[in-house]
Structure 1
Amino acid sequence: MALREEESGVNLQSSALPSVKEGGTSKEDSTAMEEGRRWEDMQVDCLVNIFRRLGLDDLTVSVPFVCTFWWRTSLDPTCWRVLNLRSLDFKTWSQFSRSFASRYRLRTLSFSAFLRLVVHRSHGSASELIFPLSSGASVHDLAYVSINCPRLRTLALPDKLMLEDDLRIPEFIGRWKDLEQLELETKPTSFLETVAAIGHNCTRFARLKVRGLIGKEDASAIAMCLPELKQLELSGSYLTKDELAVIVSGCRKLERLTAKDCLGFQADEELLRLASGIHSFEHEGSRLLGDNGYETDESEQQSGFFYW
């Protein structure tokens, strides 16, 4: 028996699956039958319900190698709806990478190949995709998931993208009509276009996380394009009270606003009164002064350079 993942480039040969044998049973299967227990006797739905709660490391490195029944059951697309890649370490010397490469008889583990493997197994049903912070993800990876994960509701992008990849984010966002949550660890160059694409295409969008320099245009875009926004996280950003006021005034349905450890504003009575209609306004650690003790000014904000 040869198992081939055509979309990923990862070939799973019978030699790579020592406990999965065609026309026979593994040692584990035989022991279970001798004791009167068979994995085949367990309801598939029950096992799927267990597997869908596991991480991608267990689903790829552990589960398929237990027995034939577990391997076949793990291929149910329901098990691959949540693709949390951030929990994995793709460095060549990591335990996960070495275990995966050993199991599947590979020289090294490629992030792009692994991404295609798990996306292919989801058969278009993936609803949550979380990229590693620094994965080396390329525009080809983003294009691939934008086509093969049409039902995404939650997306977390890497913190570092090449400029040419950054500029194509709005194009990809426009393909996810069901998108509800987007996490941007750093504000992309195409932020204004991205927010506009969300407002135009994603009618269920409710949560945005972004960190960076939030200027007047950015605040206005959030207020104008995302009036239905319910949760907004800006922690670690640079923005003034004026930008916050624009956002709060435009996003009237905000239930939670998180702006911790920001630079450029302090939650005074005026701002607290303006945000009084928000159920949760978290602003701990935000301040007007920089670490050097000098008050920030508009020229520093407009320069586009902000370090944290």
Structure 2
Amino acid sequence: MEERRRWEEMDMDCLVNIFQRLGLEDLTLGVPFLCKSWYRASLDPLCWRVLDLEPLDFMPWSKFTKRFMTQYSLHHFSFSGFMKLVAMRSRGSAIELRFPPVFGASMHDLFHASSDRWPGLKKVVLPNLLMEDEVHIPELVAKWKELELLEMQSKPASFSEMVTEISRNCKNFAGLRMFGSIKKDDVLAIVRLLPKLKHLCFDKSYLPKEQLLMIMDGCKELEKLSVKDCIGFEADEEVMRKTSGIKIFESEGSKLFDDSGYDTDECDPLYVHVI
């Protein structure tokens, strides 16, 4: 009987083509430890263009963390150490970086994702940060010259400064997604500095109708506007008329008042829904 071809003997380009579709857990804990040819293929920068950390559980007691410590013979797990490994393997090739929503990421880790590490980042998803860390976001964003899409778990206190840096440094910037209390000053910064936005998402935010109309008047090139489950406006006739020129407008679940019937015109940011 003719011997079947072995997986480890596959052409290197074929292996790389397969491995670049895998997640970081497989690339760090699975593929490299199976055989030498797979290990070599897993080091190709093409496998590390999308760095999605969101599905990984970095808690000390998680299966992922314990397995990582075992595979790399570590006495303790460090998120910063994990980021250094990913940076070394990617060799600056990453175009997308998604941080875990809450646990693990610090401003130190974020600066490791600066232009020195991944100069070609086009999409970044930032985690929730402490208030003292948020002031550094404008400085950080300014380093991502190729940035096109930015997602944030919450609106930073330095939002206006961040938008200013995006306008100055990110010439291809086209999309923003964040949650929070969207105030008039925030909208003015967007329409003044980022009038050519293509995609904007404020789902589950506090967004008064006045601010929503300002966005639609100021960002004429919007192709998608998502404001689902917001508090502060209803999709009435005026709103629908203003959005008629936008290809995709999503406002399902948005309403003028909160569930208790309280007028949210003076909405406290702590009220806003957070994912």
TM over 0.5: yes
Report the alpha carbon displacement of residue 195 of structure 1 after superposing the two structures with TM. 1.1
| Cα offsets for 1:97-153 (capped at 9, x unmatched) | 111111111123211111111111111111000000112322211111112111100
Report the alpha carbon displacement of residue 304 of structure 1 after superposing the two structures with TM. 4.8
Of 268, 271, 274, which aligns to 1:306?
271
| Cα offsets for 1:197-252 (capped at 9, x unmatched) | 11111111111001000000001111111111111010010011110111111111
For the 8 Å contact 2:31–2:38, the answer to whether it is kept is yes
* 1:141 equivalent in alignment to 2:109: yes
Report the alpha carbon displacement of residue 163 of structure 1 after superposing the two structures with TM. 2.3
Report the alpha carbon displacement of residue 53 of structure 1 after superposing the two structures with TM. 0.3
For the 8 Å contact 1:97–1:109, the answer to whether it is kept is yes
Q: Which residue of 2 aligns with 1:158?
A: 127
* 1:206 equivalent in alignment to 2:174: yes
Alpha-carbon distance in 2 for matches of 1:41, 1:242: 63
Q: Which residue of 2 aligns with 1:238?
A: 206
Unaligned runs of 5+ in 1: 1-33
For the 8 Å contact 1:111–1:135, the answer to whether it is kept is no
Of 278, 281, 298, which aligns to 2:246?
278
Alpha-carbon distance in 1 for matches of 2:233, 2:139: 33
Alpha-carbon distance in 1 for matches of 2:50, 2:183: 34
Alpha-carbon distance in 2 for matches of 1:60, 1:259: 37
User: Matched residue of 2:88: which SS?
Assistant: helix
Alpha-carbon distance in 2 for matches of 1:79, 1:304: 40
Residue type at the aligned position of 1:196: T
Q: Which residue of 1 aligns with 2:143?
A: 175
| Cα offsets for 1:145-199 (capped at 9, x unmatched) | 112111100000002x122321111111111111000001100111111111111
Residue type at the aligned position of 2:58: F
Q: Which residue of 2 aligns with 1:117?
A: 85
For the 8 Å contact 1:39–1:69, the answer to whether it is kept is no
Matched residues, number = 271
Q: Which residue of 2 aligns with 1:50?
A: 18
Alpha-carbon distance in 2 for matches of 1:38, 1:288: 62
Alpha-carbon distance in 2 for matches of 1:71, 1:116: 18
| CA separation of 1:165 and 1:294: change in aligned 2, threshold 3 A | closer
What is the TM-score normalised by the length of structure 1? 0.85
* 1:101 equivalent in alignment to 2:66: no
CA-based RMSD: 1.5
User: Matched residue of 2:112: which SS?
Assistant: helix
Q: Which residue of 2 aligns with 1:129?
A: 97
Alpha-carbon distance in 2 for matches of 1:75, 1:258: 38
Of 287, 299, 303, which aligns to 2:255?
287
Alpha-carbon distance in 1 for matches of 2:28, 2:165: 35
Residue type at the aligned position of 1:151: G
Unaligned runs of 5+ in 2: none
For the 8 Å contact 2:180–2:272, the answer to whether it is kept is no
| Cα offsets for 1:24-76 (capped at 9, x unmatched) | xxxxxxxxxx9463556422111101000000000111101111100011101
What is the TM-score normalised by the length of structure 2? 0.94
| Cα offsets for 1:270-304 (capped at 9, x unmatched) | 1110111101110011101112113333xx14x55
For the 8 Å contact 2:159–2:186, the answer to whether it is kept is yes
Larger gyration radius, structure 1 or structure 2: 1
Q: Which residue of 2 aligns with 1:31?
A: none
Q: Which residue of 1 aligns with 2:186?
A: 218
